[in-house]
Amino acid sequence: MKSIDYVKVARGEKKADLVLKNCNVINVFNGQIEKGDIAISGGIIMGIGNYKGEVEFDVKGKYVAPGFIDGHVHIESSMLTPPQFAKIVMPKGTTTVVADPHEIANVSGIDGIKYMLESSKRVPLDVFVMIPSCVPATAFETSGHIITADDIDSLKDEKGILGLGEVMNYPGVIYGDKEMHKKINVMEHYVKDGHAPNVWDHELNAYCVTGIKTDHECTTVEELNEKVKRGMYIHLREGSATRNVSVLSKGVTNANSRRLLFCTDDKHPEDIKKEGHINYNIKLAIKNGVDPITAIQMATINTATCYNLERIGAIAPSYLADLVVFKSLTEIDVDLVFKKGYLVAKNNRALFEGKLLENESVMNTVNIKKEGLSFEIPLRQSKVNVIKLIENNVTTEHVIRDVKIENGLYVHDDSLDILKIAVVERHHKTGNVGLGFLEGYGLKNGAVAMTIAHDSHNLILIGDNDADMFTALEEIDRIQGGIVLVRNGEVVDSLQLEFGGIMTNKDVSVVESKIKNMDSILRDMGVNEKVDDPFLSLAFMSLPVIPEIKLTDKGLFDVASFKHISLEVDEGDA
């Protein structure tokens, strides 16, 4: 038995496989820092103290923390397959993620979820999966696949599955939607992630009475406090578009910190490379007054406890040797990362290859009905409902504007900051096209097309002229998904995302330089400098579960009343 070997090593009678000498060990159990060696055998921590190893590595007094855990992430938002994703997050100290493969599930269904589980096995990152609960996010859009309660039931006992992914359909939960409740009941004894922005009082009680356990949508300390009070674990999120750590850090106290976690949710690869991953959440929290060890607890043991991850999240005998080494307890700039005792990253570089899994079931997923397709918008009146982009936020504002009409059709007006936006159904060739107006983006003489469009990942297009929008659509169809930029009739750049139209096998450096180049082209084309990430912002314009107004392939959608509305303002609304 291995355990008999382990006690020998722990007792110091037998040499450990590896000993990290002279560590300043961060102890998440007592909140203290302990000087000593860490002995590792078989990928497991044998003991802390004074040890000898077959291999010894002098850490020279640097800090050693447990590997960081991202408590809620859509890997797909990195636009990278799980192996490529692992290569960029592990050098930042992330050794475990709780992933909700909700994006690929919208495109490829159960095959998509299985692809994420399978492809993750080829790299050292531990990827635990929550089964997406809302595919499609609503009935108001057309997704590639539907995940039913029966599908969830059939998946729940697969290795690597932890629970139910964020239950975004919070009105469905609170007001008793049967299929939603069926999914929750199927997962009764599993962890269930929540998503309930701005839900309070009796409605929050109703959401929580179903056993949903977490929330990552808090944007104020007041909301965080209210949800902690009702028993939720709260993720402090720092993604590319949603950045809540600085504000929420003010709400971290001795009394509530054990219920607080970190997550990234959606983060672009260039941001991960530039800022960091969960180590950045920790750093920001510390900058905003959180005690460094409390912040590290929020990135490790708290998350492990919330998700029932045994033997992860601490440096203690029997725990996995997932270790992060760094010099500064405020900067958390990671020097070395060990996963199950193996050195997997050094000086910001992964020491493993991102072995890729080609999988037909998640490729060639773009299927557009081009016959009869039109972006023309007939209008009987000039007063229209417009989606106003809120900078660096995935919520939008519902505004009413006067637009120009010629011959009964909307025409672009250069004096207004309003663009045409379209969502084209691209999974089943239905021919569905939703059309609307977007304010605050600022593009001129061209179009952008993307098959990343939350959550159904239809084709989202924006432009100031229909011809460029058509050109962009044709190119998307040719490359079978990705991001395409068209300027004055020409494709000026594109990034192919061959996995489901949302992820690529390419190395992050390729993606990064593409995104960088396309971003600078967009700025040159007039895109608002205040919009931090013009791709991510666009990708959320089609997500009908986030206030106030969005666009799906079925048309304009008002989140408050939870129904489609017409482009033209009704008499009553004006």
**Site residues (vs a copy of itself, CB under 8 A):** 1, 3-4, 6-12, 27, 29-32, 34, 39, 44-49, 173-176, 178, 181-182, 184-185, 189, 201-203, 205-211, 225, 228-231, 253-256, 258-259, 305, 308, 310-311, 314, 316-319
- The distance of closest approach from Cβ of residue 315 to a copy of itself in the complex, given in angstroms and rounded to an integer, is 9
Q: Tell me whether residue 258 or residue 287 sits nearer to a copy of itself (CB atom).
A: 258
- The distance of closest approach from Cβ of residue 81 to a copy of itself in the complex, given in angstroms and rounded to an integer, is 30
Distance from C-alpha of 421 to C-alpha of 436, rounded to nearest angstrom: 5
553: helix, coil or strand?
Answer: coil
- The distance of closest approach from Cβ of residue 48 to a copy of itself in the complex, given in angstroms and rounded to an integer, is 7
Give backbone dihedrals phi and psi of 101, rounded to 5 degrees, phi first. -80, 50
β-strand pairing of 482-487 with 490-496: antiparallel
Q: Tell me whether residue 181 or residue 287 sits nearer to a copy of itself (CB atom).
A: 181
CA distances from 267 to 19, 24, 275, 280, 556 (A): 35, 31, 10, 12, 26
Read out DSSP for 441-458? ----SEEEEES--TTTT-
Tokens of 488: 């004055």
Q: Tell me whether residue 12 or residue 431 sits nearer to a copy of itself (CB atom).
A: 12
Q: Tell me whether residue 44 or residue 559 sits nearer to a copy of itself (CB atom).
A: 44
522: helix, coil or strand?
Answer: helix
Q: Tell me whether residue 95 or residue 451 sits nearer to a copy of itself (CB atom).
A: 95
Q: What is the number of alpha carbons within 13 Å of residue 119 lying toward its C-beta?
A: 30
- The distance of closest approach from Cβ of residue 176 to a copy of itself in the complex, given in angstroms and rounded to an integer, is 4
Q: Tell me whether residue 7 or residue 399 sits nearer to a copy of itself (CB atom).
A: 7
Cβ–Cβ under 8 Å, residues 119 and 83: yes
- The distance of closest approach from Cβ of residue 344 to a copy of itself in the complex, given in angstroms and rounded to an integer, is 23
**What's the Rg (C-alpha) of the chain?**
24
Tokens of 513: 């330089």
Q: Tell me whether residue 78 or residue 214 sits nearer to a copy of itself (CB atom).
A: 214
- The distance of closest approach from Cβ of residue 479 to a copy of itself in the complex, given in angstroms and rounded to an integer, is 45
CA distances from 191 to 5, 59, 185, 218, 257 (A): 34, 37, 12, 19, 20
Q: What is the DSSP letter of 237?
A: E
Q: Tell me whether residue 136 or residue 313 sits nearer to a copy of itself (CB atom).
A: 313
CA distances from 202 to 175, 209, 228 (A): 12, 10, 15
Q: Tell me whether residue 17 or residue 333 sits nearer to a copy of itself (CB atom).
A: 17
Tokens of 240: 């590319």
Q: Tell me whether residue 184 or residue 527 sits nearer to a copy of itself (CB atom).
A: 184
Burial class (CB in 10 A: 0-12, 13-18, 19+), 348: middle
CA distances from 396 to 301, 386, 440 (A): 35, 10, 10
Q: Tell me whether residue 208 or residue 538 sits nearer to a copy of itself (CB atom).
A: 208
Beta pairing partners, 325? 64, 336
Query: How far from the centroid of its chain's Cα atoms is residue 259's Cα?
Result: 21
Tokens of 385: 């409902």
Q: Tell me whether residue 230 or residue 327 sits nearer to a copy of itself (CB atom).
A: 230
- The distance of closest approach from Cβ of residue 109 to a copy of itself in the complex, given in angstroms and rounded to an integer, is 25
Q: In 50-173, where do the E strands start and end?
A: 53-58, 63-66, 68-73, 94-99, 126-131, 161-167
Distance from C-alpha of 223 to C-alpha of 229, rounded to nearest angstrom: 10
Tokens of 492: 């000026």
- The distance of closest approach from Cβ of residue 117 to a copy of itself in the complex, given in angstroms and rounded to an integer, is 20
- The distance of closest approach from Cβ of residue 69 to a copy of itself in the complex, given in angstroms and rounded to an integer, is 16
SS3 string, 268-312, reads: CHHHHHHHCCHHHHHHHHHHCCCCHHHHHHHCCHHHHHHCCCCCC
Distance from C-alpha of 207 to C-alpha of 176, rounded to nearest angstrom: 10
- The distance of closest approach from Cβ of residue 44 to a copy of itself in the complex, given in angstroms and rounded to an integer, is 7
Q: Tell me whether residue 76 or residue 215 sits nearer to a copy of itself (CB atom).
A: 215
CA angle 327, 332, 334 (to 5 degrees): 70
- The distance of closest approach from Cβ of residue 202 to a copy of itself in the complex, given in angstroms and rounded to an integer, is 5
Q: Tell me whether residue 31 or residue 547 sits nearer to a copy of itself (CB atom).
A: 31
Cβ–Cβ under 8 Å, residues 277 and 14: no
SS3 string, 418-443, reads: EEEEEEECCCCCCCCEEEEEEECCCC
- The distance of closest approach from Cβ of residue 99 to a copy of itself in the complex, given in angstroms and rounded to an integer, is 22
- The distance of closest approach from Cβ of residue 264 to a copy of itself in the complex, given in angstroms and rounded to an integer, is 24
- The distance of closest approach from Cβ of residue 98 to a copy of itself in the complex, given in angstroms and rounded to an integer, is 17
